[in-house]
Structure 1
Amino acid sequence: MTTTQPPLAAHRFTMCFSSTPRGARLARRMCGHRLDVWGVPYGSDAHDVATLVAAELCANAVRHGHVTGRGFHLLLTADTAAGTVRVEVSDTRGERLPVPPPPPPADGDDEGEGGRGLLLVAALADRWGCCPRRSGGPGKTVWAECGAPGLISPPPLP
């Protein structure tokens, strides 16, 4: 398990979602919208990478971290000074820690469906890892950090 502290964030979005495919899709769409509002426009490489990473982490929370009656938690933060976005997805299945699968065979003869989500995360994110839930409850948090040039600073508080 790798632990790190999230950076001090200039932007922050957090929400709980149902642990269903629909919840994962909604989380991905909300991440995409937030990134656009924060200055990482739709269609940019940074937007596409961060959104894909968020989608994979949310899908994994639904597929591998699902506990009946409990959702997953998404925390999206952006550090404008460093130009990075951090995606954290927490679920309530602490006994199922993420382990990236081995790369697919070189001959391309891979008939299986799924199992490539963390390979994508590892390839696209600058860093990723897993740590205990910050809330101290059952489960884990899987996080990833991606470069996001173009982030705009939030307006100053009144």
Structure 2
Amino acid sequence: MKAEITLPTAEFTQRFSATRRGARLARHLALHQLDAWGIPYGSNLSDSTAVIVAELAANAVTHGRVPGRDFELRLTFAPTVLRIEVSDARGESEPLLGPPATEEFETGRGLLLVDALATKWGTAARVVGKTVWAELAVPL
């Protein structure tokens, strides 16, 4: 019989209003939770998480907003990976990677940041809406 070692996993889940204020609060609470888990403010992992949560939450309230519906932030922290998930109520709007066709636009580059910072990222359909997720490697 082979012994199996299980490593602890921590999870944080919170719903927010689909507003700019809700997106800002999601970023603040994500960093507060990371600090409580021992990932200090200002560390590379904390700073990368701040950018990713900010971008995914902004997309949720800008492009995934359905009036009267919230968006959800979920953080899953395991010894080797931090998974960030932002779920919204609009399923038909898949996020696109890349800037707009012309350089004159100041928006549309958020997922390029997510792609640059995350180890991997993607989307998943839900019964109502979609989840955009990103994973970051946790330094040992």
Compute the TM-score of the two structures, normalised by the length of structure 2.
0.89
Please say if residues 99 and 108 of structure 2, whose CA atoms lie closer than 8 Å, have aligned partners that are also in contact. Answer: no
Note the residue ranges of structure 1 that are not aligned, 5 or more in a row: 1-7, 151-158
The change in CA–CA distance for 1:104 and 1:43 in structure 2 (over 3 A counts) is farther
Deviations 1:5-55, CA, capped at 9 Å, x for gaps? xxx861100011000000000000000001111111101111100121111
Please provide the CA RMSD for this pair.
Answer: 1.8
The change in CA–CA distance for 1:120 and 1:20 in structure 2 (over 3 A counts) is same
The change in CA–CA distance for 1:75 and 1:63 in structure 2 (over 3 A counts) is same
Higher relative contact order (CA 8 A, sep 6+): 1
Runs of 4+ aligned residues of structure 1 deviating over 6 Å after TM superposition are none
Deviations 1:47-69, CA, capped at 9 Å, x for gaps? 10012111111110001000001
**Equivalent residues in 2 for 1:2-151 (5 A)?**
10-80=9-79, 82=80, 84-102=81-99, 110-133=103-126, 136=127, 138-149=128-139
| Percent identical residues | 54
Q: Hey, what's the Cα distance between the residues in 1 that align with 2:8 and 2:26?
A: 19
Q: Hey, what's the Cα distance between the residues in 2 that align with 1:73 and 1:148?
A: 23
Q: Hey, what's the Cα distance between the residues in 2 that align with 1:113 and 1:29?
A: 24
Letter in 2 for 1:32: L
The change in CA–CA distance for 1:46 and 1:63 in structure 2 (over 3 A counts) is same
Note the residue ranges of structure 2 that are not aligned, 5 or more in a row: 1-6
Q: Hey, what's the Cα distance between the residues in 2 that align with 1:145 and 1:69?
A: 29
